[in-house]
Amino acid sequence: MSSKILKVGIVGATGYTGVELLRLLIGHEQVDIQVVTSNSEKDQYVANVFPSLSGYLDLKFSDHDSPELKECDVVFFATPHATSMHKIPELLNANVKIIDLSADFRLQNAEEWEHWYGVKHAAPELLKKAVYGLPEINRQQIANADLVANPGCYPTAITLGFLPLLENGVIDLNTLVADAKSGVSGAGRKAAMENLFSEASETFKAYGVAGHRHLPEICQTLSICSGQAVDLTFVPHLVPMVRGIFATLYAHLNQANVDITKMYTTRYIDEPYVDVLPEGSQPDTRSVRGTNMCRIAIHKARDSDKLIVLSVIDNLVKGAAGQAIQNMNIMFGLAEVMGLNLPAIYP
């Protein structure tokens, strides 16, 4: 294991994902946060913007073009989509490793990315080089990567929920359904009418039903894991809570007398951040709040070949900042759990 103290930069550190990176990295024993950027809060002390970090970090925000970024060992991009692709090539040329928490490098096909994000990709030559940062399927590739595309929150919960079934070929790939719910923080830290307390509280609604930007990412990953194309119906919902993803997944078994629980426990027995509960359990988002854990439970529908998988994560941790730090640990040969073994926040 490396004993080097890593010089870390964060681009776009004023969003929910950025401040979550700061919260977790402050407690990481082999990290020195060198530079944090924000064009909107430039020259402001981090603790003035986020009083929760007062006494932990004596840094001011720099702008996104800070030359200090090139002096870092690794830089996290917690920027809006279609931002990091303009800045990452220059940092890669300076031998800085990159973990991108936006969607800019998650899809392998430039035309498909441009279709979903509505702009021309600025660095399409890097799409094939970027490693998709889901450690449970790409750990070795992550260890050798210079550019990691951190997965989205919905794709993380859904992929981990379906993964053992896909790898063992025991489900019908043409009838997959993901009914997923997210807390309001998944929409980011920005002023938007639909995210106001009076708009989001005491209500529950679907969105992106005709096509959500995470759909191609999920289908790409599930297809790679299964070795063939999958047909997925994905419907996300907004629920009146701050954190959490709850994915209810449906699949039809194509084999009888399969011990599904054993299949899951065997697949994830060595994974530090996937917890398979006893069959029939009821995981909840509160049990993973503030942690890097994905908690999974399996249910079999009575007198049916239908399987129901429940998968819960914290969208800001395993769905974003925590998984990014997990990837950093792997990239630099550190203990994978370093800085991440925290109990859930309760209540």
Which positions are annotated as active-site residues?
Answer: 153
| Nearest-angstrom CA–CA distance, 78 and 37 | 10
* Alpha-helical regions (H) of the chain: 16-26, 46-49, 84-93, 110-117, 135-143, 153-168, 197-200, 214-226, 260-268, 322-331
Q: φ, ψ for residue 345 (rounded to 5)?
A: -80, 125
Q: What angle do CA 285, 162, 281 make, to 5 degrees?
A: 45
Tell me the C-alpha to C-alpha distance, in Å, between residue 307 and each of 61, 175, 298.
49, 11, 7
Q: What angle do CA 89, 90, 94 make, to 5 degrees?
A: 115
The tokens describing 99, both together, are: 């973990």
Helix (H, G, I), strand (E, B) or coil at 134: coil
Contacts by 53-58 with C-beta closer than 8 Å and gap 24+?
53/19, 53/22, 53/23, 53/26, 56/26, 57/22, 57/26, 57/33
Comparing CA positions, the residue from 303, 313, 246, 321 lying closest to residue 273 is 313
Residue ranges with strand state E in the chain: 6-11, 31-37, 61-62, 74-77, 97-100, 131-132, 147-149, 176-182, 205-206, 232-238, 245-252, 274-276, 294-300, 306-313
Neighbours of 41 (CB within 10 A): 19
Length of the chain: 347
